[in-house]
């Protein structure tokens, strides 16, 4: 939506992992070095952990982009509380093997034959298990057993286990001793610091052709770091909302105040609305809050294009969900934005018939005791 307004070639802060936007912070470079070392060993397990949104999947995909697909056959498994037997079936399926109506013993034989075939072609097999913290202990043990497949003296399968910090606790349990002995590289990815947060934002903007506009004041970067705690996915969410807000307001420069206002909005949407202590819905709203909503509703009854209708719906839903005092504050602060949006909506509709002319005004009443004399 805002890409063309700011002259971007794409969306800079999408939430889905994209190796094209890989940013080499200090911790991400360290993690990449561990992964490259582990790949060079061509055996065992490589473990990557980090908080939600820390960039674990982006690092793994960036590494895979560097590999020659003619020499590496990769299977990707996203675990969702799967048990041991299901784990084997999903592993086989990730490599393109048939799994329906096959017994476990036959499935293991099929997997082993496939891995031997890959090795004989001069290739290597790599299994990537995302969301590894959801694996049950039995499922982890099945993965460990797959690492026993060998051809002569070299392993047939290497695995990346990528998960959230709780997977580290799983690995420290007594029954995971044999798995820990097979781990040849492990690293944990933490949040970015304040300077890296600014570098991350500018890096992603430059990836889509940013040349300094919109401008972020130094305080704006500080506000984004405070709101996101240096977690890349949170940074993306905050920056995406800031750019959307700027597009709606025709704004090409952002201050700390702009960032703080957006951060409060996002906090209210995701936290306050779910809190049991949140205030109950207020009774009838003052005219100041009702008037813009009524104007949007009136515009919605006209014939709008889909884009304008979606904008009107989004704004209306947001105003309805916010607490009254916050809503009043934002309406006062963002009056120009609301007026600009209403103008866009009205410009997008087709001309409507002018309202009927009001009836002629009645003659003023004749004062008591006097006759009205016609000229």
Domain presence at residue 366: no
pLDDT category at 276 given cuts 50, 70, 90 is: very low
Q: Provide the whole-model pTM.
A: 0.67
| Shared-domain flag, residues 119 and 239 | no
pLDDT tens string 226-250: 999 999 999 999 999 999 999 999 9
User: In CATH, what number is assigned to the domain containing residue 33?
Assistant: 3.40.50.300
pLDDT top residue among 270 and 304? 270
> How many distinct structural domains can be found in the chain?
3
Is the pLDDT assigned to residue 371 strictly greater than 60? no
| Shared-domain flag, residues 215 and 130 | no
Pairing of strands 183-189, 150-151: unpaired
pLDDT category at 280 given cuts 50, 70, 90 is: very low
Domain presence at residue 364: no
Q: What does the pLDDT average to over 138-163?
A: 90
| Shared-domain flag, residues 122 and 149 | yes
**Residue recorded with tokens 């360290």:** 30
User: Cα separation of 217 and 56, whole Å?
Assistant: 29
| Shared-domain flag, residues 35 and 171 | yes
pLDDT tens string 92-117: 999 999 888 888 889 999 999 999 99
User: Cα separation of 108 and 116, whole Å?
Assistant: 12
Domain presence at residue 210: yes
Domain presence at residue 354: no
User: Cα separation of 34 and 29, whole Å?
Assistant: 9
Last residue of a domain, one of 274, 299, 315: 274
Instruction: State residue 78's pLDDT score.
Output: 83
pLDDT top residue among 43 and 278? 43
pLDDT tens string 6-63: 999 999 999 888 888 999 899 899 888 888 888 888 889 999 999 999 999 888 888 8
| Shared-domain flag, residues 38 and 118 | yes
Look up the domain containing 73 and give its range: 26-189
Instruction: State residue 315's pLDDT score.
Output: 53
Is the pLDDT assigned to residue 182 strictly greater than 60? yes
Domain presence at residue 40: yes
User: Cα separation of 187 and 49, whole Å?
Assistant: 6
| Shared-domain flag, residues 57 and 181 | yes
Last residue of a domain, one of 165, 189, 213: 189
Instruction: State residue 82's pLDDT score.
Output: 76
| Shared-domain flag, residues 130 and 270 | no
Last residue of a domain, one of 141, 158, 189: 189
Is the pLDDT assigned to residue 355 strictly greater than 70? no
| Shared-domain flag, residues 206 and 169 | no
Asked if 220 and 262 touch (Cβ cutoff 8 Å), the reply is no
Distance of CA 228 to the CA centre of its chain: 13
Domain presence at residue 73: yes
Provide the token pair at 15: 């939430």
Question: Percent of the chain, pLDDT > 90?
Answer: 39
Pairing of strands 124-130, 154-155: unpaired
Angle at 373 between CA 372 and CA 375, to 5 degrees: 135
| Shared-domain flag, residues 61 and 143 | yes
Is the pLDDT assigned to residue 222 strictly greater than 60? yes
Instruction: State residue 175's pLDDT score.
Output: 86
| Shared-domain flag, residues 148 and 66 | yes
Question: Percent of the chain, pLDDT > 70?
Answer: 71
């Amino acid at each position: 939506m805002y890409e063309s307004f700011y002259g971007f070639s794409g969306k800079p802060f999408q939430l889905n992992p994209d190796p094209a936007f890989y940013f080499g912070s200090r911790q991400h470079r360290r993690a990449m070095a561990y992964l490259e070392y582990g790949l060079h060993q061509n055996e065992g397990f490589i473990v990557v952990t980090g908080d939600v949104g820390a960039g674990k999947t982006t690092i793994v995909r960036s590494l895979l982009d560097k590999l020659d697909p003619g020499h590496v056959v990769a299977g990707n498994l996203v675990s969702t509380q799967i048990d041991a037997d299901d784990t084997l079936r999903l592993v086989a399926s990730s490599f393109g093997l048939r799994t329906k109506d096959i017994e476990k013993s036959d499935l293991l034989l099929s997997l082993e034959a496939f891995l031997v075939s890959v090795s004989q072609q001069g290739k290597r097999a790599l299994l990537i298990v995302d969301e590894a913290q959801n694996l049950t202990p039995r499922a982890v043990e099945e993965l460990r057993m797959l690492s026993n497949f060998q051809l002569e003296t070299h392993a047939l399968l290497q695995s990346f286990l990528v998960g959230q910090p709780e997977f580290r606790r799983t690995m420290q349990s007594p029954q995971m001793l044999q798995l820990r002995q097979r781990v040849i590289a492990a690293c944990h990815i933490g949040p970015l610091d304040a300077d890296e947060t600014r570098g991350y934002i500018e890096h992603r903007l430059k990836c889509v052709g940013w040349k300094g506009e919109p401008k972020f004041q130094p305080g704006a970067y500080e506000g984004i770091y405070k709101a996101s705690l240096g977690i890349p996915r949170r940074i993306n969410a905050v920056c995406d909302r800031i750019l959307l807000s700027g597009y709606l307001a025709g704004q090409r420069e952002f201050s700390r105040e702009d960032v703080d206002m957006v951060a409060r909005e996002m906090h209210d949407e995701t936290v306050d609305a779910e809190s049991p202590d949140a205030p109950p819905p207020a009774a009838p709203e003052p005219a100041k809050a009702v008037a813009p909503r009524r104007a949007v509703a009136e515009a919605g009854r006209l014939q709008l294009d889909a884009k304008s209708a979606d904008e009107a719906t989004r704004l209306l839903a947001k105003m309805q969900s916010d607490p009254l005092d916050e809503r009043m504050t934002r309406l006062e602060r963002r009056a120009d934005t609301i007026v600009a949006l209403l103008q866009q909506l009205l410009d997008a509709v087709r001309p409507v018939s002018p309202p009927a002319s009001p009836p002629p005004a009645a003659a003023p009443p004749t004062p008591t005791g006097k006759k009205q004399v016609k000229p």
